[in-house]
Amino acid sequence: MRRLALDDERSFDSIFKLYYKDLLLYAGSYLRERQVCEDIVQSLFMHLWYDRKTLSVGRSLKSYLLISVRNRCFDYMRHQNVRNDYFDYVNENSVLSSSNTEEYILYSELQDHIKKAINKLPKAQKEVFVLSRIKGIKYKEIAKKLNVSERTVEVRISQSLKTLRTLLKDFFLLIAVLFVR
């Protein structure tokens, strides 16, 4: 780890080659989706490289890596559960469960307008908004991922919501009709 902290890419390469397959298999023992396992392990190695100067792994790098993979798998599973609960709620309570074709069309149009409005946000605001409001990631995790302060994340969310309210002001009545019953 000392060599890694000194920006030794060979050291990082050696660590990657030594542990990648084992970590991938370990992630696979929790998750069945190979791509998700690869993403988790690769993000761990990115974290290892980006935080190499300040990272404290304790006595065993292997233990640190295994525990980190396990925790990331648990985080992913928790996120999936929240996401599934949200989709179940939406399916049970949204206009999509309604047989009213007109409401469905209005809902689809509203979704298109919302997507367009999100795409009009400045890059930094859009990135934070998507991570927080669509992917359900906590401010603290977003701040760490983007290498910014939590306050910056809060400000960007606030700015993005203000911008979206302005862009979607003509649709508030439609939103009220579709979602407030």
CATH number of the domain at 98-181, please? 1.10.10.10
CA dist 88 and 111 (Å) reads: 18
pLDDT digits (tens, 9 = 90+) for 50-91: 887 777 777 788 998 999 999 999 998 888 887 777 777 766
What is the crossing angle of helices 101-120 and 172-179, to 10°?
130
Q: Is the pLDDT of residue 96 over 60?
A: no
Domain 1-93 has CATH 1.10.1740.10: yes
Burial of 27 from C-beta contacts in 10 A (0-12 / 13-18 / 19+): buried
pLDDT at 92: 67
Instruction: Check whether 164 has a pLDDT greater than 90.
Output: no
Domain spans, the chain: 1-93, 98-181
Q: What percent of the chain has a predicted confidence (pLDDT) above 70?
A: 83
Q: How many residues does the chain have?
A: 181
Point out the least confidently predicted range of 9-23, 35-49, 166-180: 166-180
| Span 6-16, pLDDT tens digits | 677 888 889 89
Instruction: Share the mean pLDDT of the chain.
Output: 83
